[in-house]
Amino acid sequence: MAAVSEVQAILEQIRKVRQIRQYRPESVPEDIVQQLLEIARWTGSSRNTQPWHFIVVDDREILRQLSQLRPPINWLAGAPLGIAIVLNGQSEISEAYDEGRVTERLLIAAKLLGLGGGVAWYGDEAQEAEAKRILGIPPERTARSIVAIGYPLSARDPRPTPVSGGRKPLAELVSYNRYGQRRS
């Protein structure tokens, strides 16, 4: 069993997971890609359906094409790697839940492996259809996002209208036993 100090160090790393949008140009080693895929594969899913298929995208031209779907994801062109999440398209609600779970696992694993990750949403229905065309995904499948992964160049948000960071205090976010009830 891990020592308490090791657990605390891991928890601190998880707390520091941030959306990374700027990457160094070097490729992600294949052994690390395989570790990330194993983490994704072992993510829990609703009713253990495992409704996903992962497309590893390391072709810079494909990443550039995806980055052009809409301006807020133009940073994707600078990523050395993306893992596109393709879902079966059979249960919108449970697959959205599962997509969130596997996305967060990939981001945490990337951080623990010394990398950074960011999620790029393709956009509206037409933009999703174009992403499917670019990636060769059958139309009946669901594909909304790609997780970019690489060695972080900066955690700064390079977009023209960045959102400020920080977190609300727990007192604003937590109730006990009933909504709005505070600890006495």
User: Is the distance from CB of 60 to CB of 68 less than 8 angstroms?
Assistant: no
Query: Is residue 163, in this structure, part of any structural domain at all?
Result: no
Q: Hey, what amino acid is at 112?
A: L
Residue 19 is classified by DSSP as: B
| Segment 13-23, tens digit of pLDDT | 998 889 999 99
CATH number for 93? 3.40.109.10
| Residue count of the chain | 184
Confidence of residue 127 (pLDDT cuts 50, 70, 90): very high
Query: Would the CA dihedral through 71, 75, 81, 83 be positive or negative?
Result: negative
Span 114-131, average pLDDT: 97
pLDDT of 1? 62
Query: Is residue 2, in this structure, part of any structural domain at all?
Result: no
Q: Which domain holds residue 117?
A: 18-154
Query: Is residue 39, in this structure, part of any structural domain at all?
Result: yes
pLDDT at 129 over 70: yes
Q: Is 10 helix (H, G, I), strand (E, B) or coil?
A: helix
Query: Is residue 7, in this structure, part of any structural domain at all?
Result: no
Q: How many domains does the chain have?
A: 1
Query: Is residue 183, in this structure, part of any structural domain at all?
Result: no
Query: Is residue 165, in this structure, part of any structural domain at all?
Result: no
This prediction has a pTM of 0.90
Query: Is residue 45, in this structure, part of any structural domain at all?
Result: yes
Distance CA 123, CA 48 (A): 28
pLDDT at 154 over 70: yes
Query: Average pLDDT over the chain, rounded to whole?
Result: 93
